[in-house]
Amino acid sequence: MSGTDALHDYDVETDPPAIEPVEHRIRLDFMAGGPIRRDQLLEKYNSWKGSPENTDPWKQSGKAKPVGLKYAEETCSRTFNEEERYYDFFEDDRALSEAPAFLAHRLRQCQSATDPEGALHSERERRENWYRKLIPWLNLYQVLKESSYGTLFGSGAGPQLNAEALTRQNTLVGMVVLGDDDQTPSKYARSHGLPAKYVIREADLSCSESSAAARPSEFGIELPAPLLVGKYTTGGRYPFIPWSDGLVCSCPYKHDQPWRVLCKHELLAAVVAGDQDSIFLPVTKGLDVPHRARRFVSPRFSSSRQETS
Ligand SMILES: [Zn+2]
């Protein structure tokens, strides 16, 4: 499926800037689920052909399904059910004020459609497709492959990748990110008394290499800014961008399709945060960064994760 597929034609330009509740919940699910073993990752699964009508690929391969993924799938169906009430009251602005930002935005568009009931029906179908198919089958299953999350394990690592082993291979580096027009990193470092290796130009981060990725400045982050940069064993350097009340990875995988709720870097972050039992990511190297640049999950959701098994 390409980025221009009509089915996924989200109007990202006008979408409200917020991380959807289900994204926060899925992060908490993977935090609670703990480390994922190499032998739990899929090898041959083709996510583009993935569909809830197929056999579960973990069942098919005889592998053990990661616990965090089980939680996340239950979260998807629970969240879809929770949202049912908004469809009944889609003309009631007060009810919509409590709805997730993106859904509320879409339902307001339904109000003014020429055929509001028809628009509502297709919006509901679209949302159901997101929770039942796109999130689990096309996004999460794809991330839980050897060729995705597995690449962050590095070559020398053992089969059990806990947070400590993960952060030996991959580092979360506190850095100051400069804009194109700012002074040079070495000058900036000297004038602020910082080690030069922790000051970088935005253009030198990996997210600047692909148009599908997101530069911090495109997200409205004013540079220079202290940010947490994931430096991965695969060679990528992707900053986590503080966005609404959490962090978003800036890699192209995450931003190429607006319906993707998790990338392999965010999964790694979830395992690390889960190990610390904190909604804040640790700085494993480099400069201190403000809390907002480390807050992985909104506090609004952290106290409300429902145990599902
Ligand atoms: Zn990423």
- Tell me the pLDDT tens digit for each residue of 235-247: 999 999 999 889 9
Based on the structure, what is the number of domains in the chain? 2
Confidence of residue 305 (pLDDT cuts 50, 70, 90): low
From ligand 1's centre to the CA of 254, what distance in Å?
A: 6
Same domain for 202 and 125? no
In a domain, 56, yes or no: yes
Domain assignment present for residue 3? The answer is no
Centroid of ligand 1 to alpha carbon of 262 (angstroms): 8
Query: How buried is residue 217: exposed, middle or buried, by Cβ count under 10 Å (0-12/13-18/19+)?
Result: middle
pLDDT at 125: 95
* Residue type (1 letter), 138: L
| 202 and 148 assigned to the same domain | no
Q: Which residue has the higher pLDDT, 309 or 281?
A: 281
Q: What residues sit around ligand 1, an ion, with C-beta below 5 angstroms? A: 249, 251, 254, 263, 265
The H or E element spanning position 199 is strand 199-201
Residue 8 resides in a domain: no
Backbone angles phi, psi at 190, to 5 degrees: -65, -45
Residues 260 and 147 in one domain: no
Distance 178 CA to ligand 1 centre (A): 20
- Please state, in angstroms and rounded to a whole number, the distance separating the CA atoms of residues 188 and 62: 54
- Residues 188-206 pLDDT 10s: 999 999 999 999 999 999 9
What is the helix (H) or strand (E) element at residue 243, kind and residue range? strand 237-243
Regarding whether 294 and 176 lie in a shared domain, the answer is yes
Last residue of a domain, one of 95, 122, 153: 153
Do 59 and 137 lie in a common domain? yes
Cα-to-centroid distance, 115 and ligand 1 (Å): 39
Distances (CA, A) of 59 to 66, 73, 274: 12, 15, 26
Give yes or no: residues 103 and 224 share one domain. no
Say how many Å lie between the CA of residue 113 and the centre of ligand 1. Answer: 36
Residue 89 in any domain: the answer is yes
Mean pLDDT score across all residues of the chain:
90
Band of residue 161 on the pLDDT scale cut at 50, 70, 90: confident
Do residues 132 and 173 share a domain? no
CA of 300 to the centre of ligand 1 (A): 23
- Is 208 a member of any domain? yes
Q: How far is the CA of 267 from the centre of ligand 1 (A)?
A: 9
Check whether residue 77 and residue 149 sit in a common domain. Answer: yes
pLDDT of residue 15 exceeding 80, the answer is no
Tell me: pLDDT of 309 over 80: no
In a domain, 12, yes or no: no
- Ligand 1 geometric centre to CA of 24 (Å): 15
What is the CA(112)–ligand 1 centre distance, in A?
A: 36
- Residue 4 domain-assigned (yes or no): no
Can you tell me whether residue 286 is helix, strand or coil?
Answer: strand
pLDDT band at 63 (very low <50, low <70, confident <90, very high): very high
Which residue, 100, 120, 153, sits at the end of a domain?
Answer: 153
Domain that holds residue 84: 20-153
Is residue 13, in this structure, part of any structural domain at all? no
Query: Tokens 């796109």 map to which residue?
Result: 134
User: What is the rounded distance in angstroms from the CA atom of residue 184 to the CA atom of residue 267?
Assistant: 33
Q: Pseudo-torsion of CA 243, 248, 251, 256, nearest 10°? A: -80
What's the 3-state SS for 26-52?
Answer: HHHHHHHHCCEEHHHCECCCCHHHCCC
**Structural contact between residues 24 and 247, judged by C-beta atoms closer than 8 angstroms:** no
Tell me, yes or no, whether 106 and 42 share the same domain.
yes
Of 134, 153, 172, the position where a domain reaches its end is 153
Mean pLDDT of 55-79: 97
Considering the domain architecture, whether residues 38 and 148 belong to the same structural domain is answered as: yes
Kindly give the distance from the C-alpha atom of residue 134 to the centroid of ligand 1, in angstroms, as a whole number.
Answer: 17
Half-sphere exposure of 33 (CA within 13 A, CB side): 28
Dig out the tokens for 190 from the structure.
């000297």
Ligand 1 centroid – CA 136 distance (Å): 17
Same domain, 167 and 276: yes
Q: Are residues 204 and 78 in the same domain?
A: no
